[in-house]
Amino acid sequence: MCPQSSQPFTAAGAFNERTFRDLLEYNIQAGVHGFWIGGGSGESVMLDDDENLRIATAAADQGAGRVTNIMHIGAPTTRRAVTMAERAAKAGVQALCCVPPFFYEVTDEAIIEHYRAVGAATDLPLMLYNLPQSTNVEITPALARRIRDAVPTLAGLKHSGPVVEHVREFADLDLACFIGNSYLMLPGLTIGACGCVDGPLAVVPELWVAIWNAWQAGDLAGATEAQRRATEVGQAMMEFGFIEALKAAITERLGIDCGDPRLPMLPLEPEQRAAMIGRMRNLGVMDEEQRAAS
């Protein structure tokens, strides 16, 4: 189970390493197994390469020997993705993940060559990042098979595509498949997912850890109830946005100030923030004792 880490920013808009480490530590203590660093909720495509290197270095140091850090190095150009892969590997992360090239439409052959180059850049396991709603590229099981055959370091993927049934097909290709929708963590596990990666996990990791623990113990009823509660809380946040909602929820629930999203994304309006916090409080995951404990 790997939360997608949000990137905290200072009031001046700079990466806040101390707060980032605090957020990772809270999640580690809650029982997560690793982090998907710099993914969609981590705003990596909004950051420059030096900032992404600082993030990789901080994550590798904070979680050393305790969790697995999978660093996103996706970029529109192969050259930049390769450079980011090399730098992340030197920073000490345990694995890499990469969206397919985006903005310009390219052929499947070009996508395969992109991943071949990225995979050859380091000895680290490489994970595909299937995020078609952002990249306009759908990594189907057929394309994943071709990439697997061309990239010896390919180990798996995060599947955030629309066809949940593809989880089983990816697993049948001997690819470790993380379900990318936290509302579908338990259904994903039942059809072959190895875990879940999503933004809401970082805010209330305890709820999704409970799903995993119940599933591992063979307690399907307990896992089902844990999934119901986790989904309820996740929906209470995501009704108000995505990155802006995650940052506000982390700040208010954990007392770890994530700051505002990086422009052009905007923070929640005060009334939206208050409404979201009110809903989370009504669900029992937002109170003063929680903030004091953090």
pTM: 0.94
Look at residue 287 and tell me if it is in a domain. no
Instruction: List the domain range (segments joined by +) for residue 24.
Output: 2-219
Q: 3-state DSSP call for residue 218?
A: coil
Residue 254 in any domain: the answer is: no
Number of other residues whose CB lies within 10 A of the CB of residue 105: 9
**Residue 44 — very low, low, confident or very high, per pLDDT cuts 50/70/90?**
confident
Letter string b/e over residues 22-39, b meaning 16 or more CB atoms within 10 A of that residue's CB: bbbebbbebebebbbbbb
117: CATH: 3.20.20.70
Nearest to 249 by CA among 226, 279, 225, 227: 279
pLDDT in tens, 138-189: 999 999 999 999 999 999 999 999 999 999 999 999 999 999 999 999 999 9
Give the pLDDT band (50/70/90) at residue 5. Answer: confident
Q: Is residue 272 part of a domain?
A: no
In a domain, 230, yes or no: no
Task: For residue range 76-129, list pLDDT tens digits in order.
Answer: 999 999 999 999 999 999 999 999 999 999 999 999 999 999 999 999 999 999
Structural domain includes residue 255: no
- For the stretch 197-241, pLDDT in tens is 999 999 999 999 999 999 999 999 999 999 999 999 999 999 999
Helix intervals (H) in 138-219: 141-150, 166-172, 185-190, 205-216
Total domains, the chain: 1
Q: How far apart are CA 20 and CA 34, in angstroms?
A: 14
pLDDT at 138: 97
